[in-house]
C-alpha cells in the first residue's frame, strides 16, 4: 500500500485496487453460475440401465471344429462373461457321449444382462443403475490359427447370443470356409457394463 502525503491512498493504487475487487467479484459470480451446470452435465458414455433376464438354448453345428459338451459350455460361458452377463448359468444338453467331441453339442443358458432403462419403461420391477459402454473383443482380427479355428462358433454366437445384449458399434467379419482353417474372422462390440460403484452380483 502506498500513502500520499495527506495520509490517503494514491489515486492509481486506489483505482487498481478497485479494479481487482471488481474482477474478483465477476469471477465469483461466474463460478456460481457456471460451476453447478458443469457438475450436472453427465458424461457422454453414461447410461441408466436395468438388469433383465434372458434364457436361450443353443445347438452348435460345425464342419471344421468340433467340441465336447463341456468344451462348448466353457467357451460359451467365457464369451457371455466377457459381455457382462451376471447370474450366469450354462448347462449342457443333448449330449450322447461322456468323453470326446459331440456331433451336435448344446447348451441352455440363463442369465441377466443390462439394457437401457429407457427401453424397459412399462416393464416395471427393476431399479436403474449407472452403466457405461465398453468395447469388448470376442475374436480379434489378428488372432492366431488356433483361435481362428473357432470361427464357426463365433458366427453362430453372433446370431444367437449377441442380440440378447444391448450393443452398438459391432465390428464383424467372417472368413469361415467349411473343412478349412482360415484367418480373418473378427467380432467385437460395445456393450453396457455396470459402473464400478453399481451392483454386479
Residues 64 and 149 in one domain: yes
Q: 68 with 128, same domain? A: yes
Residues 146 and 71 in one domain: yes
Residue 135 has which C-alpha cell?
A: 468395447
Tell me if 200 is assigned to some domain.
no
SS3 107: strand
Examine the domain organization and report whether 77 and 28 are in the same domain. no
Q: Does the structure show a pLDDT above 90 at 41?
A: no
151-185 residue pLDDT tens: 999 999 999 999 999 999 999 999 888 878 888 89
- 105 and 156, same domain (yes or no): yes
58-69 per-position pLDDT tens digit: 999 999 999 999
Task: Give the pTM.
Answer: 0.75
Give CA–CA dist 199/190, Å, rounded. Answer: 20
Which residue did the predictor score with more confidence, 69 or 4? 69
Q: How many CB atoms lie within 10 A of CB 181?
A: 13
Alpha-carbon distance 128 to 160, whole Å?
26
Start-to-end C-alpha separation, the chain: 65
Q: How many CA atoms lie within 13 A of 149 on its CB side?
A: 8
Q: Please tell me whether residues 31 and 62 are part of one structural domain.
A: no
Per-residue pLDDT tens for 6-17? 444 445 444 555
Amino acid at each position: 500500500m502506498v500513502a500520499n502525503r495527506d495520509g490517503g491512498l494514491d489515486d492509481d493504487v486506489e483505482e487498481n485496487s478497485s479494479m481487482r475487487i471488481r474482477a474478483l467479484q465477476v469471477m465469483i459470480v461466474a463460478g456460481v453460475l457456471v460451476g453447478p451446470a458443469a457438475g450436472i452435465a453427465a458424461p457422454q458414455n453414461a447410461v441408466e440401465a436395468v438388469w433383465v433376464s434372458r434364457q436361450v438354448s443353443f445347438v452348435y453345428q460345425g464342419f471344421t471344429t468340433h467340441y465336447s459338451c463341456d468344451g462348448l459350455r466353457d467357451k460359451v460361458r467365457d464369451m457371455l462373461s466377457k459381455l457382462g452377463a451376471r447370474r450366469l448359468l450354462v448347462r449342457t444338453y443333448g449330449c450322447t457321449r461322456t468323453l470326446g467331441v459331440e456331433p451336435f453339442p448344446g447348451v441352455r443358458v440363463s442369465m441377466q444382462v443390462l439394457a437401457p432403462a429407457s427401453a424397459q419403461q412399462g416393464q416395471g420391477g427393476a431399479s436403474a443403475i449407472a452403466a457405461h459402454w465398453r468395447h469388448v473383443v470376442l475374436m480379434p482380427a489378428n488372432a492366431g490359427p488356433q483361435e481362428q479355428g473357432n470361427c464357426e462358433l463365433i458366427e453362430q454366437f453372433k446370431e444367437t447370443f449377441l442380440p440378447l445384449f444391448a450393443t452398438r458399434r459391432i465390428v464383424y467379419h467372417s472368413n469361415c470356409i467349411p473343412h478349412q482353417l482360415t484367418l480373418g474372422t473378427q467380432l467385437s462390440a460395445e456393450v453396457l457394463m455396470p459402473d464400478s460403484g453399481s451392483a454386479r452380483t
